[in-house]
Structure 1
């Protein structure tokens, strides 16, 4: 099986590589279109700012390539947000795979922003959460979130309920960092790699 991690202007990719190494899964880290389109599984992770990362995707043409992929694709953290329609972070138009807008946590909620640390996810409705205990804790670092919508397959509550995970067709996404979320996060990555195309 050929797994590709998309190379773009985002951080924290090394942690994803370590997670795949722990699973004994081979991977290729690349922005080469031919390699991405021929992969069996595609991972679109990262930490970053929406407008900067979208600008890089447009410059390389990946903003058109990624939504057209037919194999399973898994976006995490800013990767998930860029798969949405629009982000309030610097008023950024994103890829529109999920027809939902990413909103900043309200400043008047009484909660610290960014949402940083361990929080539990609930209401799983995705094969990526197979063999994960209910209300599993995952590690979050973000100031923006997608509201609960028709694509929501797991939720989290911080200031308000938001989408912890999204799914549409062959596209899967998680707001949290699976790669640093212990055994439960590792299981999600393993479940993604085991998905049937």
Structure 2
């Protein structure tokens, strides 16, 4: 897997860079936000130490070749505003899952849409994947819109799949097949 290429993806308003423990505070700023972590599958990071352990786990996964992670940097401020990931690679079916998380201050500004476009283009052209997919909590309207803007199609629904804060939510399954 080409980690260095993934870490060098660049769009109009953002660019990717490799995860680093040196960026602990910036990552903790959104990893410790209850509203941010609510629907993404990460545990809420209450301390810098918890965030540090999480970053170390992500770095180990990436070095093992099972995941790709990148910090998403806003060009205008050089601030880390989120994390992009490609994971759950299925070599036989030639597909993988994507995910993304953003600091709440940067929601609704197009950075998610741009990040998914960069990841999709990379996965289809550089990794030669046939399909990408994402699983989204049905209440996460922003994430659903990001996928739809990137031409991901709703492929299914898993009823009461997530149990978050004493409530059940459906999982919406989105997919995109390469056109290349």
Superposed pair shares fold, TM > 0.5: no
TM-score w.r.t. length of structure 2: 0.30
TM-score w.r.t. length of structure 1: 0.28
Higher helix share goes to which structure?
2
